[in-house]
Chain A
Amino acid sequence: DAGVIQSPRHEVTEMGQEVTLRCKPISGHDYLFWYRQTMMRGLELLIYFNNNVPIDDSGMPEDRFSAKMPNASFSTLKIQPSEPRDSAVYFCASSLRQTQYFGPGTRLLVL
């Protein structure tokens, strides 16, 4: 298995632009997680899905952030409009049982 796949790996955009991050979980995993990592805040859980259904989105910073999982093999995290404080590394992870498998992350820089 290729593991969790994320795209793009790097994204540089200007404030106000829409950003879409993509994730393909490991086949057969029924949980999918989106995290954000910064030096200041560490690793934060934004939202997670079980069987494509959002279970807890209390970590989503504000309405500018939205996430979808239209099917078991694909999820998106969208930021619209983006702001400089959104600059971070965004990780997607999937799991079947307790262990989570992380993707390589998307490094986002909002200028």
Chain B
Amino acid sequence: SQQGEEDPQALSIQEGENATMNCSYKTSINNLQWYRQNSGRGLVHLILIRSNEREKHSGRLRVTLDTSKKSSSLLITASRAADTASYFCATDENAGNMLTFGGGTRLMVKP
């Protein structure tokens, strides 16, 4: 089974609305990352949050981490049509730089 599981699997909103995606994981982590994948492209790193951090911001992105619940959320504020993509959370394992990716949330932002 996958380490990270995103919820919901798909989300459709209107431009200007906020989008919230959630990720749950099973084991202890050092950090959690969020990536974006546009259709037909490779994944692009968005933000990293360490296990001792609870919240992090980057532009219109806000990530929270609750290690007691083994969950994280990604909030995109004031969404734009260009935010349409799949969003993945990824958690680190014990060794090296290996990441385990969840199944992703497909976000559609309608203009």
Q: Which residues of A contact B48 (CB under 8 A)?
A: 98-99
| B97, A42: Cβ atoms closer than 8 Å | no
Q: Which residues of A contact B104 (CB under 8 A)?
A: 42-43
Q: Is the interface of A mostly helix, strand, loop or mixed?
A: strand
| B42, A105: Cβ atoms closer than 8 Å | yes
C-alpha spacing A33/B43, complex, angstroms: 13
**Contact size range, B:** 20 to 34
| A100, B99: Cβ atoms closer than 8 Å | yes
Contact with B along A95-106 (1 / 0, CB 8 A): 101111111110
**B20 contacts the other chain (CB 8 A):** no
C-alpha spacing A50/B95, complex, angstroms: 11
Q: Could you tell me the distance in whole angstroms from the C-beta of A87 to the nearest C-beta in chain B?
A: 15
Q: Could you tell me the distance in whole angstroms from the C-beta of B104 to the nearest C-beta in chain A?
A: 7
Contact with A along B86-106 (1 / 0, CB 8 A): 001010100111111111100
Contact with B along A59-102 (1 / 0, CB 8 A): 00000000000000000000000000000000101010111111
A residues contacting B by CB (< 8 A) are 4, 31, 33, 42-43, 45, 48, 50, 55-56, 91, 93, 95, 97-105
Sample of 29 A–B contacts (CB below 8 Å)? A31-B97, A42-B2, A42-B101, A42-B102, A42-B103, A42-B104, A43-B101, A43-B104, A45-B98, A45-B100, A45-B101, A48-B98, A50-B96, A50-B97, A91-B42, A93-B42, A95-B97, A98-B48, A98-B92, A99-B45, A100-B43, A100-B45, A100-B90, A101-B45, A102-B42, A102-B44, A103-B42, A104-B42, A105-B41
